[in-house]
Amino acid sequence: KMKRLAFLLSLGIICFAGKGVDVSTYVDTWTCLKNSGYNYAIPRGYCSYGAVDPNAQKNIDNARNAGFEFVDIYVFPCVRCGNPENQANQVKALTGFGTAWLDIERYDWGGSKSENQQFITAFASKLENLGIPVGIYTNYYNWQSIVGLDWTGCSQYSLWYAHYDGNPSFSDFRPFGGWSYPAMKQYKGSTTVCGAGVDLDYYSQSYL
């Protein structure tokens, strides 16, 4: 059964699939987005300069009020700030979201792969200890550069990967970091829907 499901995922054929948006700014057209067929919202919850996004709570609440089925956040860690546990504590101030997706992409990662692994592990572990579900946002090349393709220290978390091919399916996915299949794909970046600047996502509810 699992092999069949993985095969269907690889073809983009999955019963519990849908589309969502992620945003890094304040959005006031969540109802329009919902009516346009998106039912997953992921506003930025934490900024790379080391503070909770000032628009996060409003975006979470407004997406919920618009009827979005899933509302998560993504967390852009401040590596140069250090103390990932303290950053996780700040995320705890937000309410009404599901998973906190740790955004692991090539930006300000100056340490060794080992140091980066330790930072990510500490951040994710603290979020879990606070009762916050954790996911990982990255892609093959970011993971390779920051922690190494063979590091599997986060493979227990759901994977949201980025590949801007404009194709809402997982047919392009290749395993890395211990992940055999993803939960979600960011398939188009920096577009406009309902007057809002968004990235477009495709997800499988089976693996969220």
Predicted confidence (pLDDT) per residue in 53-101, tens digit: 999 999 999 999 999 999 999 999 999 999 999 999 999 999 999 999 9
Instruction: Using the predicted structure, report yes or no on whether residue 4 has a pLDDT greater than 70.
Output: no
Q: Which of 53, 103, 199, 201 is catalytic?
A: 103
Contact 45, 81 (CB under 8 A): no
Instruction: Using the predicted structure, report yes or no on whether residue 1 has a pLDDT greater than 70.
Output: no
d(Cα 181, Cα 15) in Å, to the nearest integer? 16
Instruction: Using the predicted structure, report yes or no on whether residue 16 has a pLDDT greater than 80.
Output: no
Instruction: Specify the pairing of strand 158-162 against strand 70-71.
Output: unpaired
Q: What is the DSSP string of 33-64?
A: HHHTT--EEEEEEEETTTEE-TTHHHHHHHHH
Q: How far is CA 25 from CA 29, 87, 197, in A?
A: 12, 20, 8
Predicted confidence (pLDDT) per residue in 122-180, tens digit: 999 999 999 999 999 999 999 999 999 999 999 999 999 999 999 999 999 999 999 99
Q: Which residues share a beta bridge with 159?
A: 136
Q: Which of 61, 69, 85, 105 is catalytic?
A: 105
Residue 49 has what pLDDT? 97
Q: Which of 22, 53, 72, 201 is catalytic?
A: 22
pTM for this model (two decimals): 0.92
Contact 22, 201 (CB under 8 A): yes
Note if 150 is an active site residue: no
For residues 27 and 205, the model is more confident at: 27
Q: How far is CA 117 from CA 50, 121, 151, in A?
A: 19, 6, 8
> Closest Cα to residue 63, out of 184, 160, 192, 196?
196
Residue 208 has what pLDDT? 66
Residue 206 has what pLDDT? 75
Which residue's entry shows tokens 């250090």?
A: 82
Phi, psi of 167 (to 5 degrees): -110, 110
Note if 85 is an active site residue: no
Instruction: Using the predicted structure, report yes or no on whether residue 3 has a pLDDT greater than 50.
Output: no
Instruction: Using the predicted structure, report yes or no on whether residue 207 has a pLDDT greater than 90.
Output: no
Instruction: Using the predicted structure, report yes or no on whether residue 35 has a pLDDT greater than 90.
Output: yes
Residue 85 has what pLDDT? 98
Instruction: Using the predicted structure, report yes or no on whether residue 2 has a pLDDT greater than 50.
Output: no
For residues 51 and 16, the model is more confident at: 51
Residue 108 has what pLDDT? 85
Instruction: Using the predicted structure, report yes or no on whether residue 7 has a pLDDT greater than 60.
Output: no
